[in-house]
Amino acid sequence: MRCYLLCILTVVGLMCASTHAQKPAWQPPLSTTTVNVWPGRAPGVPDNSNPEVDTTTPKDNLIAGQPLIRLGNVTSPTLTIYKPKGKNTGAAMVVFPGGAYRILAIDLEGTEVCDWLSGKGITCVLLKYGVPDSGPYPKSSAALQDAQRALGVVRWHASEWHIDPQRIGVLGFSAGAHLAAALSTHYDKRLYDAMDAADEQNCRPDFAVVVYPGYLALAEQNFANNRDITVTDKTPPSFIVMAEDDPVHVETPRLFPDAKKRKSPGRAAYLFARRPRLRPSPHHSTRYDVAAKRRNLVAHHQCDPLLVAGIPMGPIGSALKGQGRRKTSIRMPQSCPRSVVFRSHHIFR
């Protein structure tokens, strides 16, 4: 009898251990819909891939007093669709989290941003692209292949997801910002063999938001322009933002807009003198009170997704809201996703 009970307890223990081991490192919110980027295995992914894992350790620093998920070993890229809350503007934003092409800051620079954008009537599509060693292009083409395919899939489903196929933009942070710039300049030819009708769709973004980008300037070449990011008059309207005291040298974002100004006027970049101070707000987990002196004034403003740190309306705002041009404004955000008001690239360096 004692042996029988011992066997039962052993089996139960093994089942519990197995269930715990199989728990995903990250799960999309229940209110969202998730689809695979590829109809089968992603190009170049080995069959013996390890499961996804949250690589965060107790020694990793917090962002605005909160931890974040550093998702690693991503071999099955997905798109998670956040439907707009309230009135649907028809615009869509595909979000690329950062993480130095080694991990994905899937909540800090992904889910929190999508919650914020969908609350403004924008369909948000979170791309969980493959890592590690998936970029930057051309060192590896894996992440850029995922991004090209993702834009094609979104346009293919535009009618089903109630999206205007001519108002689909990309928003990236850090390495994801480089991915947004890479896609904006490498959309004319797929880096993989076509698989279905999604690959017949145009994968050019209609606009791009590039937030504290990496890899646009080459440190080993005295911060020369990355020639693999070639701007033309066909490159979509782009907005770039970065703090001048960012750990990644400020020359990085300056080069891309300088090239865009030469090739196609009307693009914009904004640089803060320093990163804002963050104080957690008791009202919401992703809301922060930011006070910054600018021209001897302390500015407190609500965070508008079209005017974050001075995003000009122009062609980007018109694409998002379908409205005419509005006056460019500089606004210091008060209730923004923490990724927007805090530079987190140094975490992953």
Quickly list DSSP for 199-265.
GGS----SEEEEES--SSEEGGGTTEE-TTS---TTSPPEEEEEETT-SS-THHHHHHHHHHHHHSS
Residue 3 has pLDDT above 60, yes or no: no
- Answer whether 291's CB lies under 8 Å from 298's CB: yes
Kindly state the tokens that stand for 313: 């309306």
Residue 178 has pLDDT above 70, yes or no: yes
Angular region, 145: left φ>0, alpha ψ -120 to 50, beta rest: alpha
Per-residue model confidence (pLDDT) at position 202: 97
Element at 35 (helix H, strand E): strand 33-36
Please tell me which of 18-22, 203-207, 264-268 the model is most confident about, judged by mean pLDDT: 203-207
Residues above pLDDT 70, as percent of the chain: 63
Q: Return mean pLDDT, the chain.
A: 75
Per-residue model confidence (pLDDT) at position 77: 97
239 - beta bridge partners? 209, 268
Angular region, 333: left φ>0, alpha ψ -120 to 50, beta rest: beta
Kindly state the tokens that stand for 41: 């295995």
Better-predicted residue by pLDDT, 70 or 19: 70
Domain boundaries, the chain: 32-39+49-347
Per-residue model confidence (pLDDT) at position 240: 83
Residue 264 has pLDDT above 90, yes or no: no
The model's confidence at residue 243, banded by pLDDT at 50, 70 and 90, is confident
The model's confidence at residue 277, banded by pLDDT at 50, 70 and 90, is very low
Better-predicted residue by pLDDT, 66 or 307: 66
Q: Determine the 3-state secondary structure of 176 from DSSP.
A: helix
> Which tens digit of pLDDT belongs to each residue from 312-343?
334 455 555 554 333 333 333 445 566 654 44
- Answer whether 340's CB lies under 8 Å from 300's CB: no
The model's confidence at residue 201, banded by pLDDT at 50, 70 and 90, is very high
Per-residue model confidence (pLDDT) at position 327: 34
Q: Output the pTM of the full model.
A: 0.77
- Answer whether 293's CB lies under 8 Å from 250's CB: no
Q: Determine the 3-state secondary structure of 153 from DSSP.
A: helix
- The CATH topology of domain 32-39+49-347 is Rossmann fold (3.40.50)
The model's confidence at residue 212, banded by pLDDT at 50, 70 and 90, is confident
CA distance 327 to 241: 18
- CA angle 196-197-200, nearest 5°? 110
